[in-house]
Chain A
Amino acid sequence: MTVLERPATLPTPALGPAPSRRAGRRRRRAVYVPLVVIAVAFLIPLVWLVSISLNDDAGLASGSLLPKTLHWSNYRDAVTLIPFGRYAVTSLLLAGVHAVLATLSSAMVGFGFARLRARGKGVLFMIVIATMMVPAIVTLIPTYLIFARIGLVYTYWPWVLWGLGGSAFLIFLFRQAFSAMPSDLEDAAIIDGCGWMRMFVSVFLPLAKAPCLAGFILTFTGGWADFISPSLFLSNDQTTLAVGLSAGYTTPAGTPLYTTLAAGAVLYILPVLVIFLVLQRGFVNGFVTSGMK
């Protein structure tokens, strides 16, 4: 996952008045038209998906663009024809556990890089940054082969281990956050007789709620979206929604059920969209994710 962060502290620049009001208005109109066109065009795929999810086979065959009656039963089929609930719980669990572990572990490591000193720290931090440039897929397949040898495939442990190892980007994020905190905090804690671990847990971590949330959301949505790891490391009956869904819905005889698949896809996408819409401001202003795979 490549993610880029903009410090949340950066104020949105106050926009000065445009040089001439009329020119400004004209320019604004030139801005609106393409924006509306693009925004609508960007929504079409999702609208189409929802439309298919409410259609039936006859409706699809007739070539009508929108369903004549709404077939909500597709949604019932979507969750009953495949073990949708089990897949969803697995997705939730794996993404959740991985996100919590990765966030906490990265916070701890980021704290180390921000506030502690030791020989080799500079080099190690360079390595952290360099690992962001290693394509994840290059290490994933060999990891699979190794884990197969030691019996870790077809278990959920890989997600725990990946979580514990932290994420280079989050470490970077936390390092930034902890570096920016005043050193008086440290002094006060030391006067109080705190060890570094206590200082981290009870003084610094509570002040890093924003990066914690950002890290959790990014890792969680990344885990929810991940297709390759579960398809490699998990068997078909213990897998996640991303993989279970992509195998598609068919009748017992093997006919693909497009409308049900669309309904399943809507249900799969929905949680992420809800998270996005709720935390939209944070997404758009504070941090950004772009697909890893």
Chain B
Amino acid sequence: MKLEFIELELEWPYELSVFDLRPYILSKLIKYGEPLRWAITSLSTYSEKSLQKIYIEAVLIINEDKTNDVNNDLN
């Protein structure tokens, strides 16, 4: 077992309500490991593209076999 700190950028679709945001983020984080501590730490709005992006900082519990996936996928 190891812990990994990651920074993740996600698109927040306009049709997704704030009431559904937490499960949405968890569903994305779980791909990289088991979320231990996370928060949205920044948001950007691109009005010309009708797009909002959220930035997550998180510490995940990662099994060794998932390490490669994380390194490949994260910015």
Partners in one complex: no
